[in-house]
Structure 1
Amino acid sequence: MLLLRLIYESFSFAANSLTANKLRTILSLLGVTIGIFAIISVFTVIDSLEGFIRDSLNSLGSNMVYVQKMPWTPPEGETEYPFWKYQNRPVPTLEETEEVIRRSQTVDNAAFLFGFGRKVQYGSTTLDNAVIMATSGGLMDVWNLEIAKGRYFTDSEMRTGAPAAVIGHEIADQLFDGLDPVGRTIKIQGQKFNIIGVYTPMGQDAFGTSMDRYIHISVVKSYYMIDVRDRDRGQTICIKAKDNIDSDKFMAELEGIMRTIRRLKPMEENDFALNEVSIVANQFDQFFVVFNLAGAIIGGFSILVGGFGIANIMFVSVKERTKIIGIQKSLGAKRYFILLQFIFEAIVLSVIGGVIGLLLIYAGTIIVNQSTDFTIVLTTGNIINGLMISSVIGFLAGFMPARAAAKLDPVIAINSV
């Protein structure tokens, strides 16, 4: 009952303070509002960005390895990326992809791919420098792709280099403007390609790539269109591991197979890179730790200013209610009652500022989500963090004024002017 009474009186005093001194209260709450808005908005944006990037990394496959000419990150223990060291390495090839599949015991499937830009035409509609993705047949399984209309390549079409193509939905919209693309013919570099399928829309990942914007053809067919011998056009072997395969065993086997294919001597360095998604994920983990720390520091200063504002209004409140405090103490009110009464009032004021800050963030997320392609989500965790931070700030800001009020002599307090 005492706790309920304290809470009720604290709300009553806080409400009176808000209504009796509107300008002073608004200016005091503004600091907490801005502070909560700053720190929670930073955390919200970071969490949304982190989720977006992690989803993009997961789309690359947690059990995937990308065999490429160059590594994604500097060598372990180094900060400088020695690109000159990798510049003269040979590029991966279709033949190496087939050898990896044939020799490996841990590989589920693999696909060889690279991309290049060409002008694409359908009737009078032209796309300049459209991205053509040339791959071997395993891409659909390796990247878990889905067909929305039509079908995927047959093994025969891939091996023989048939003039067939599967396109992304953005390409379909741009070239065919609502028409069904399946069965229609486009021209790429003057050569005709029959559209056999359209991929299910996937959206753009954090790295700016999307199958929605690609025209997918057989790598064998691409050899008649572009020279890839010893030329770096982003040639990559995407290798998918079997389920429940140990990562270290998988990597060790791949390294051994690639060294054997390249005929490297035991003391020679690898002339290829085995890029794992986990490597990039670890780099982003470090980035987000620093980003969160920076956001906490920036928001912390704003919260500190808000705390001083709450402390100021509480000292003024104690001064204005000195006679009331004296009367309460003369009637038997204990020190802890006066102390808790003002602390609760400070917490209530601070939480009100925090709630306003959270409402502003929520309004901001709606505006951003409706006006951009990037999705920001105000999570329950961040809402709880905002309320907890504002409560703590209210407690800290209200403790000293509450302590001063609790120590007042009842006789002196009653007779104060």
Structure 2
Amino acid sequence: MDLLESLKMAGTTLVANKLRSSLTMLGIIIGNASVIAMVGIGQGAQRLASEQFETLGPNLLFIVPGSQQTRSTTLNLPKTLVLADAKAIATQVPSIKEVAPQINSRLLVTYRNRNTNTAITGTTPEFLVVRNFDVARGRFITNLDLERNNQVVALGADVAEKLFGNSDPIGQTIRIKNASFQVIGVMEPKGAFLGDNQDDTAFIPLTTMANRLVGRTSPYGLELTFISATAKSQDSIGAAQFQIENLLRLRHKITDEDDFTVRTQKDVLKIVGTITGGLTVLLAAIAAISLLVGGIGVMNIMLVSVTERTQEIGLRKALGAQERDILIQFLIEAVILSAAGGIIGTALGISVIQIVAMVSPLKAGISPVAILVSVSISGGIGLFFGVVPARRAAKLDPIVALRSA
């Protein structure tokens, strides 16, 4: 019997048992759809993280207190960075363009009968350039504000809306931790970064933050939460990181473990990419289990089919069909079920990815590799799990088969 005839017979048999064939394919459909959707969503999460890091600012470096080991083993981070460190980086590191020191806290902000608990950032005028922020109305902090400890504040877009609604906040007075601040500006909307709303922030002069709100507790100078810096070019980021590390080691008189960590934008993005990539692989592996379950379902149904078609098999063998012909027919049926399930599952997975892309910020994309691998695996599963029932059918004795029918 030629292959074309086997294909026709397999198709006729499967169409004659539509419900059973559909239920057999269901596990394969769900498995393929899950794998493709999980891989697409995982890649979308990686793209979103990459885009959000790009909005932070060009050629960005973060200098944070505590060594990498310290930051991973304690919640109370050491306060080892001071304002003098930031000034030294700005003046003594030739590959650095701008430096923005920061003191961060979360405090109650009040205007008349409205209040909100929001992030307060004490910083300098360089923050706009380093962190790629823009002012929508009014102005930002100036060096004069720093020198005079002026109690002025630039509000993030969401904070301004919560406190003032549609009213103009410029010139109004708000209270931050029982201290009065005049609103001098409103920032352009920036959006969220890794779940942190950057528009839910109020910006005040760094010196005012230290002297009026959080206090000075370090004998070495004005303590900082961290320092942001931007390199002069993409090519100078590595040199900037090296120079900053050497400078701070000299300033802090370090001979053993560093009491600070310098991270580039690429370093942080690589960490996030490793995490999201690992989660994608984990989710895809879990989804692939349903492919295995679907393959077992194919084998079970094909074994039932062999039992039900004992008379047909005996009759065909009595008329001269070889074991190879019976084997090929049942293998073809198993592969058709798995391949058809794979194709339908692929279409379903692509639909899920498109829906997720429309209703969420994830830039979910369709992975041709995931589709090719998933469909190939589903077809291979049909072939693999179809061998046992196909061999059982091929080995049936025609006389016994006809007698037991």
User: Into which bin does the TM-score normalised by the smaller protein fall?
Assistant: 0.7 to 0.9
* CA gap 1:83/1:346 in 2 versus in 1, 3 angstroms: same
Matching residue of 1:217: 204
Residues 111, 174 of structure 2: 8 Å contact kept: yes
Matched residue, 1:251: 241
In the aligned structure 1, how far is the partner of 2:393 from the partner of 2:325?
10
| Separation in structure 1 between the aligned mates of residue 350 and residue 186 of structure 2, nearest angstrom | 41
Q: Could you tell me how far apart the structure 2 residues matched to 1:347 and 1:293 are?
A: 26
Distance 1:124 1:291, change over 3 A: closer
**Partner of 1:239 in structure 2?**
229
Among candidates 51, 59, 74, match of residue 69 of structure 2: 74
Pairing 1:171–2:149 present: no
Q: 1:166, 1:198 within 8 Å by CA — same for their partners in 2?
A: yes
Alpha-carbon contact 1:109-1:241 (below 8 Å) kept: yes
**Structure 2 residue matching 1:179: 3-state secondary structure:** coil
Matched, 1:144 2:132: yes
> How far 1:99 sits from its partner (Å)?
1.9
Deviation for aligned residue 1:237? 0.9
The answer to whether 1:65 aligns with 2:61 is yes
Structure 2 unmatched ranges of 5 or more: none
Aligned length: 398
* 1:155-175, Cα deviation, whole Å (9 max, x unpaired): 544554444433222212211
CA distance in 1, matches of 2:392, 2:159: 71
Contact kept, 8 Å, 2:61 with 2:263, in 1: the verdict is yes
Aligned partner of 2:14 among 4, 17, 30: 17
Distance 1:367-1:327 versus aligned 2 partners, 3 A rule: same
The 1:236–1:395 alpha-carbon spacing in structure 2 relative to 1, beyond 3 Å, is same
Residue deviations 1:248-292 (CA, integer Å, cap 9, x gap): 432221122223333x16x35433332344444454555456545
Which residue identity lines up with residue 66 of structure 1 in the other structure?
A: F
How far apart, CA to CA, are the structure 1 residues paired with 2:373 and 2:171? 55
The aligned residue for residue 394 of structure 1 is: 382
Does the aligned pair in 1 maintain the 2:83–2:224 contact within 8 Å? Answer: no
Shift of 1:213: 0.6
Distance 1:201 1:256, change over 3 A: closer
Unaligned runs of 5+ in 1: none
Matched, 1:112 2:101: yes
What is aligned with 1:36?
A: 32
Q: Tell me how far 1:141 sits from its aligned partner.
A: 1.5
Amino acid in structure 2 at the alignment position of 1:239: A
Distance 2:172 2:182 in 1: 8
Identity, % of aligned positions = 24
Q: Distance in 1 between matches of 2:190 and 2:362?
A: 17
Which stretch of the first structure deviates more once superposed, 406-415 or 145-154?
406-415
Q: 1:365 to 1:100 in 2, by over 3 A?
A: same
**Paired letter, 1:125:** R
CA deviations 1:319-369 (Å, max 9, x no partner) are 5287489669969x8987766554443233224434555566567668877
Residues in 2 aligned to 1:10 and 1:182: alpha-carbon distance in whole angstroms: 80
Secondary structure of the 1:379 match is coil
Question: Are residues 90 and 311 of structure 1, via their aligned partners in 2, closer, same or farther at CA, if it must alter by over 3 Å?
Answer: closer
Contact 1:67 1:238 in 2 (8 A): yes
1:98-137 correspondence to structure 2 within 5 Å: 98-127=87-116, 129-137=117-125
Deviation, 1:216, is 1.3
The letter of the residue matching 1:65 is L
Partner-residue secondary structure (3-state), 2:80: coil
Distance verdict in 2 for CA 1:362–1:321, change over 3 Å? farther
Find the aligned partners of 1:345 and 1:92 in 2 and give their Cα distance: 69
- Alignment RMSD, CA only? 4.2
> Residues 370-409 of structure 1, C-alpha deviation per residue, up to 9 Å, x if partnerless?
88x6647362444444433322222322344445666789
Q: Give the match for residue 300 of structure 2.
A: 312
Deviation at 1:218, TM superposition (A): 1.9
2:302 partner SS: helix
Secondary structure, counterpart of 1:226 in structure 2:
helix
Q: Judging changes above 3 Å, is the alpha-carbon distance between structure 1 residues 29 and 268 closer, same or farther for their aligned structure 2 residues?
A: closer
Q: For residue 137 of structure 1, give the secondary structure of its aligned residue in structure 2.
A: coil
CA separation of 1:190 and 1:83: change in aligned 2, threshold 3 A: closer
CA distance in 2, matches of 1:152, 1:19: 75
**Residues in 2 aligned to 1:286 and 1:252: alpha-carbon distance in whole angstroms:** 24
Which stretch shifts more, 353-362 or 193-202?
353-362
Which amino acid letter does the alignment assign opposite residue 69 of structure 2?
Answer: P
Instruction: Give, as a single letter, the amino acid of the residue that structure 2 aligns with 1:242.
Output: K
CA drift at 1:41: 4.8
TM-score, scaled relative to structure 2:
0.77
After superposition, the Cα gap between the structure-2 partners of 1:234 and 1:334, relative to the gap in structure 1 and judged at 3 Å, is farther
Task: Tell me the residue number matched to 2:190.
Answer: 201
Aligned amino acid, residue 289 of structure 2: F
Question: Cα 1:241–1:394, aligned 2, differ >3 Å: closer, same or farther?
Answer: same
